[in-house]
Structure 1
Amino acid sequence: MRDLEDETLEGRLIAQRKVIARLVALAGDEALRAWLEERSVMQDQQEDPGAVPSPGVGIEVAIAEEIRHIRDEAERHRPG
């Protein structure tokens, strides 16, 4: 039963990503695109890029990754 719940949740998240990406693409707003671009990379303020991330940073990485997916999907649907 757990697998079905995971698949349902994943399917819903993917659908939401696609809808959001389409809205971003249709909006054509440069400020929104710049905001997505800025947030598509996690800013951890560490000087050493090879440093071990601090605990709890996994959520921040997931957020940046999802924003990157939305940004990329929006670019594919952008008119012109």
Structure 2
Amino acid sequence: MLSTVEELELAKLYCLCINLAFQILSFCFSCTKLFFQRSTHIPLRVHDLLYSWSRKWRGNRSKSIKVVASKV
């Protein structure tokens, strides 16, 4: 029979394993979502956000940059 300390350690290990499993599942879900976004030609919001941030940072001085994310 296990002591109380050993039972607590096993419970902590069990909780860590469950947490790791959920993190792996959420990572797989985000990869799958990204794959379907690319395969259905939906513009990537992250790329759009980075593009708009870089335009604001440069003060819209460079007009030669074209939006590539909308054509992906």
Query: Is TM-score (shorter-chain normalized) higher than 0.5?
Result: no
Interval of TM-score (by shorter of Structure 1 and Structure 2): 0.3 to 0.5
Q: TM-score, normalised by structure 2?
A: 0.42
Larger Rg: 2
Higher RCO by CA contacts (8 Å cutoff, separation 6 or greater) = 1
